[in-house]
Structure formats: structure tokens, C-alpha cells
Amino acid sequence: MKPPKPHVPTDINRRRLLRQGAALGIGILAAPAILSAGRSNWHGRDPFTLGVAAGAPAPDGFTLWTRLAPDPLSADPHTPGGMSGGNTGLRYEIAADPQLRRIVRRGDCLSESQFSHSVHLDVRGLAPGRSYWYRFISAGSASRIGRAMTLPAPGQTPQRLRLGFVSCANYEQGYFSAYRHLADEDPDLVIFLGDYLYEYIDRKSATVRRHSDGVEADSLPTYRNRYAQYRMDADLQRLHAEVPALMTWDDHEVENDYADKWSPRFIDPRQFLRRRAAAYQAYYEHMPVRALSRPRGASMRLYDEFRFGDLAQILLLDGRQYRSKPACYAPPNRGGAHAQTNVECPERLDPSRSLLGARQEQWVFERLQRSSSGWNVLAQDVMMAQWQRVLADGERAYWSDDWNGYPANRERLLRFIQAQRVANPVVIGGDIHSYWCNDLKADFNDPSSATVATEFVGTSVSAHPPPRETFARHLAENPHVRYFESQMRGYATLEMDAGNLHARFRAVSDAKDPLASVSTLKSFVVENGRAGAVET
Ligand SMILES: [Fe+2]
């Protein structure tokens, strides 16, 4: 790592002090100038029922999101969110303070009717390395106030960076207390690593609340209503308003265990791609992602890079859209994830197979090669470390849906990191509904081989865990796993400075309790220059 540059002060303490005041900005406005901003077709109802969000930070701006939805769960597919008609104008305000006293930018923007009246406002021309606050105004109504952030300018290095990361929020299986407690921590950024929602209906296990439409989401109207219902959750809405977000997805935003155009259940990929197009569009309509991510049919570019001067770089990856066909794929019975041995399925080892896809893989290599950052974070959906189960006959079985289904891609990436001496690589992931801290090895089958990167996997926000024993009894067969726990729901945080990265696994007391408390389950430190975490 390079020596730290002059410190850019963080505004985090000021943010904490002023946050309470920002919350007071919610409500209906009466000022004449504001009343003239747009014509209402929601007849006195609040159009900002789904809140606001900021994301995609750049050194001079960010993307601001909202969606006009006076009737957010409208059952009529022709009036999504209760909105009819064409694009609707609204106004926005961006300020240097949480009470919006020092407005630095105001203007007009459009909600796009083709994207269910969502707004994706790419703002540019602002100062680097700081927070801004914003709101939207339309026809007499004002949204709640949200916080956005700009990245440091190139050459400017913040003293520290504080992140939260979350995954696997099942609305039916638990409350989102993890989101509330993460918002309380006021991190600089939150990274959503996928399974932001669940497309299916849980008919088998204990649930605390129901998806209101009672059907599996499989079409544009049903995906839209699923997102709308999640966004009406007060804890999730608050987290988005108070903390800017980086967004990537896993499988449940579309369908369980899909890989590119291969679905566990659809035998005809063209049929599945129609469903994927609907799911991707609904995702775009609800996320603070930049114009680059505007979907084209069943394609949507999500992977992206975010640099924090010489302190850190975050590569946000897409682990689903570009995958090679699952090894030994045979829908409908062997379409989804399953355990595979090398005898049953030698195809798993085929060096041409990739989880990231050739183009994204190349993009990652280029970004890692030219990185001057002290910490290089790869943020993606699924666990990267090898996980093997030794069977009674001595064969080893591997799960096909995470990086274990694509070992050649994992080896290429880790060997590249080792050969290029990428500074402090840290992989974060989710999907598996349990906490993991892993050494990522140059050769997983040789425990004495070098640890080339550190991995932290966060547990689910609320989705049910796998039985603990499923994994616990095989830990000895995977000596690179430093920590595993599946009993608790929650989130994880990372705090980086020039010398160390501190990771904390935060656990809520009970995801079935809407007022759950939070505590630290485990914490780890990674020292600059030494891959592999140490428990603290
Ligand atoms: Fe999940």
C-alpha cells in the first residue's frame, strides 16, 4: 500500500448529529412555488410511497432514484403503482446540508412511464468526497429527504471507508431489523449483494408476513409489485434514504439457481429469457443504478467500479447474467443446483467455463492490474472458497451453483491476483445464509499453498438458514475456512484505513421479532500486506 495522502475529513459525525433533523423533512408541502411542480394524477395521495434512494457514486455526482406510486400495489397491470398516462415531470433539490437549507442544485426531471414512472437522475458537476442531501417534489408532495455521496476526486484519499453489506432478505420469513441496525451505524455506503427479494411464495416454512399477491413473481406486473411491497418496508426504505447503495443481484431477483439463459425449470431458454427481461426491467425500475444499466431486452449491465483514491477500490460484479451453462445441466430434473463429484460430472472442471463470463473476467483483470488502491474489494453474490464434502466412497462432492461450479474461473482469478501482486484483495459475498471467513488459496487442495485473498460472506437479512450440521460436519475437510456460523441473521460491516481492514459480523436477536436488537457475533482484522483474516 502507498503511504496515506493528506486526510480528507469525513462528515460522518456531522451526519449523525443532523440525521434526526433530516427525518423531519417528510410531508406534504404547501408553498406555492412547489405546488406548481407537475400535475397530479394521484388525487391527494402520496406519490412517494416507495421512498428514495441514491447510488452509483462518481467523483462529481451520483444517481438519485424514486418512483411515483400513489397506489403502490395496484392490481391493474395497466396502471403500475396507480399511475396512468405518459412521462410525468417532477422537481428535485440537492443540498449541502440535511435540512436542505443550502441548496446547491435544483431542477426538473422526468418519471418515465415505460419504467413504471421511476426516476433515474444522473447528477454531475458536484464537489468530490462528500455527502449531499436531496428530495423530489411533485404536485404539492415532497419525498422524504435522502443522503447521497460523491467519491473522492482522483488523487484524493479518504482516511477511512466504512461499508455495510447485506444479502438474502426474504419478506415472508422475517423482518428487516438488520437493515434498521445497519442504518443506525450510518456507514458511508451499503452494498446489496443479491437476493434483494424472493420471487417465490413460501408455502412450507414458518413465515411472519405474506407476499400480498400470493403468487410467484414471473411477469413484469408481478415483479413490480414484489419490489413495491419490499420497498414499503419501513426499515428497508429508511436504509435506502439514509445510506447510498451499490447494487448487484443474485438469482432470486429472477428465478432460483438460474445461470445466464439456463433456468432450472424452463427447458426452452428463449422462454426463460422473456421472464428474465421482465425481472431485469423491474429491478432497474426500483434501483438507484445509473443510465448505463438501462435494460435492453433481457440484458442489463450492472458490473461497475468505484474508487476511493488510493485507499480502496470496489469492483461490483454480476455473478449471474454471463455464467457458462451449469455443468451437466439437464432440466427439469438436473437444471438447478446440486452436488456433483468429478466422476459424475467431469464437465465441471472444463477450463473454458466461467462464472463471470469472458468479457467481465477480462474487465476484472484489467481493473485489478491497473489498480493503485490499497484495498481491492470484489463485491459479488456467492461464496468463492472451495467447499468439498468427502463422501463415504472417498469421492468429493461440490455444489454446482456457486464458484464451486466454476473452479477454473476461480483458479484463473486467484492465480492472476497472486501473479500481479494485487494489493490486499478482499472478496465479499452472500447467498448461503450463513457467515463465513475464508482464506482464498492459490491451490485449495494444498493447505500449505499461499493464501492470496481474504473472503467474508455475510449471513441472510431474514431468509432461513441451512441446517448448521449440513456444513459443520465437513469443516475439517475444508481447512481454509476460518469461521462458519449459520444460526444467526444479520449483516456485515467493513472498515478500512491505510493499515487495517476490520470486519464485523453483526447478528440480530431474532429475525421474527420486528423490534430485534443487534450484537457483534465475531470480528476480524486483515492487516495491510497479509492476506487472511485474524479473529479479534
Ligand atoms: Fe438467498
User: 167 CA distance to ligand 1 centroid (A)?
Assistant: 7
Per CATH, the number for 1-151 is 2.60.40.380
User: 268 CA distance to ligand 1 centroid (A)?
Assistant: 25
Q: What is the pLDDT of residues 42-78, one digit of tens each?
A: 778 899 999 999 999 999 999 999 999 999 999 899 9
User: 319 CA distance to ligand 1 centroid (A)?
Assistant: 13
- The mean pLDDT value for 346-374 works out to 97
User: 219 CA distance to ligand 1 centroid (A)?
Assistant: 20
Q: What is the pLDDT of residues 174-229, one digit of tens each?
A: 999 999 999 999 999 999 999 999 999 999 988 999 999 999 999 999 999 999 99
pLDDT category of residue 2 using cuts at 50, 70 and 90: very low
User: 153 CA distance to ligand 1 centroid (A)?
Assistant: 35
User: 398 CA distance to ligand 1 centroid (A)?
Assistant: 18
User: 227 CA distance to ligand 1 centroid (A)?
Assistant: 16
* Res 26: pLDDT: 35
Is the CB of residue 519 less than 8 Å from the CB of residue 499? no
% of the chain at pLDDT higher than 90: 87
Domain with CATH 2.60.40.380 in the chain: 1-151
User: 491 CA distance to ligand 1 centroid (A)?
Assistant: 13
Domain with CATH 3.60.21.70 in the chain: 152-535
- The mean pLDDT value for 139-146 works out to 94
Q: Looking at the predicted structure, is the pLDDT value of residue 35 above 50?
A: no
Question: What separation, in Å, do the N-terminal and C-terminal C-alpha atoms of the chain show?
Answer: 22
Per CATH, the number for 152-535 is 3.60.21.70
Return phi, psi of residue 97, to 5°: -140, 155
* Res 40: pLDDT: 64
User: 463 CA distance to ligand 1 centroid (A)?
Assistant: 7
* Res 333: pLDDT: 75
> Hey, what's the torsion of the CAs at 185, 57, 198, 380, to 10 degrees?
-90
Mean pLDDT of the chain: 92
* Res 19: pLDDT: 52
- The mean pLDDT value for 131-151 works out to 96
* Residue 491 C-beta-side C-alpha neighbours within 13 Å: 29
User: 432 CA distance to ligand 1 centroid (A)?
Assistant: 6
- The mean pLDDT value for 154-171 works out to 96
* Res 292: pLDDT: 87
pLDDT category of residue 166 using cuts at 50, 70 and 90: very high
Strands (E), 197-265: 245-247
What secondary structure letter does DSSP report for 292? G
pLDDT category of residue 31 using cuts at 50, 70 and 90: very low
Q: What is the pLDDT of residues 421-447, one digit of tens each?
A: 999 999 999 999 999 999 999 999 999
User: 253 CA distance to ligand 1 centroid (A)?
Assistant: 10
- The mean pLDDT value for 149-178 works out to 97
* Residue 473 C-beta-side C-alpha neighbours within 13 Å: 7
User: 215 CA distance to ligand 1 centroid (A)?
Assistant: 18
% of the chain at pLDDT higher than 70: 92
DSSP string over 454-493: EEEE---SSSPPPPHHHHHTTGGG-TTEEEEE-S--EEEE
